[in-house]
Chain A
Amino acid sequence: MAKVTFTLNGETVTVDEPLNMRFLDILRKELGLTGSKEGCGEGECGACSVFMDGWLVNSCLLPLASVEGRDIMTIEGYRETKRYKVLENAFVEEGAVQCGICTPGMVMAAENLLNRNPSPSEEEIRIALAGNLCRCTGYEMIFKAVKRASKEGEGLW
């Protein structure tokens, strides 16, 4: 066990847990933030995506040790932003959510893209979401949702 301190959704948090715990488990089990999902547990599905210092990372591959001193934002923090509302609306409008397991990760990957490229092409959207798997939608609706969000959220990104 070791004390690790980091910023989580704007607040300073200290946990006393083994350094080799997966950060995903710290979020879900110790901190009760279950928005980040475990799909594959090996970095192939992106359902566990969170932001670390403003960049998308897979929390299932992150040992607790790596989070020391970092600024973390999960889907629970992101949902409080205007950008999230635009993405949420776009996902609903385009029917981009079915079972919902991949959705938090898809939304986070979309933010990771739009934050750096507010008007992405279809190809750029596909590349940005390539680390996220969806077993329901067939992806087309998700790509359309990101495109819609980039238009409707003009100026936000």
Chain B
Amino acid sequence: MVKHVIPKTYEEALDHLSEGTFKVLAGGTDLMVKNRSWSETPARFKQDILYIHNLEELRYIEDRGDYLAIGALTDYETLLRHEAVPQVLKDCMLEIAGPGIRKVGTLAGNIGNASPAADGVLTLYLLDAKLVIEQKGSAREALIDDVIVGPGKTTLSNEEIIKEIRLPKTRFTKTRFLKVGGRKADAISKVAFAGAVTIEDGVVKDLRMALGAINVTVVRLRDVEKRHIGETISAVQDNIVSIKNAYVPHIKPIDDQRSNRVYRKRVAFNMIEDFITTMHTQD
């Protein structure tokens, strides 16, 4: 028999996690669909569920100097309206679902769900987000790339919970979030792209690109990005062919109900090319 537990406090949630094998339900906008049954019957969960939606202590956005700390239960709508949240993350939030889902959905849930098409996760890769992962008696901090390992797969153990997301403060001269979906709202990405660049006196000081829904996890090639740091805009743009070639082994989309591999591949390369060729101009 599946157990259903609402912890009263965060501490109590950690106690439950240390003793059982719970699935943590934050907003539930993914889990309730994944496990839905017939109308008028309860969602059919296969695992014990810990309902943490009411843990107010995990709802916060705090400026801590070097980074912005986002409590695990902070919803998308709150992020969208908060002045300290980076613009590229807001651009992303606005393209996620619609107002009703945005008020309930959370970045931590997006991470835990670990969908290769998760737009929030994609933007967190771009921003070098770190996660504070806690269990009873200990905590660890990890780069998001090291936590998500495959579709629906993370390195979180049964005892652990995502407590906080940390966004290092970075100033970019241009950012972009671009999503291709079947509809303007409430669509899961066919392909998604997030890019950021910092250009000073015609020299590229920072260059980042992340692509979603084209492999088992988000693709961000830090080595390729680094190769071009310190180059002039035109030097980078003249290298567009070699940049695209570097992504070839990593852009491995699948055919599914939303799109197909040929389309996804083509769009992904177009997104890379378009960002590189327009990185010095404002959209």
Residue numbers of A with Cβ under 8 A of B are 2, 18-22, 25, 28-29, 38, 41-44, 46, 49, 52, 55-58, 60-63, 65-66, 68-69, 109, 112, 127-128, 130-132
Contacts and interface: CB of A to CB of B under 8 A. Distances in A.
B202 to A, nearest CB: 35
Tell me what chain A mostly uses at the interface: helix, strand, loop, or mixed.
mixed
A62 B99 contact: no
Contacts of A19: 4, 6, 49, 51
B39 A131 contact: no
B1 to A, nearest CB: 11
B104 A130 contact: no
Nearest to A25: B40
Given A42-B33, A61-B104, A69-B54, A20 B4 contact: yes
Contacts of A130: 98-99, 184-186
Q: Interface extent on B, as a size class? A: 20 to 34
B29 A61 contact: yes
B100 interface: yes
A21 B51 contact: no
B254 interface: no
A39 B27 CA distance: 20
B166 interface: no
Tell me what chain B mostly uses at the interface: helix, strand, loop, or mixed.
loop
7 contacts: A19-B4, A19-B51, A20-B4, A28-B40, A43-B101, A55-B103, A65-B25
B168 interface: no
A36 B101 CA distance: 16
B39 A38 contact: yes
Interface string B41-52: 111010001010
Interface string B200-243: 00000000000000000000000000000000000000000000
A44 B6 CA distance: 27
Contact of A131 (B33, B36, B49, B101): B101
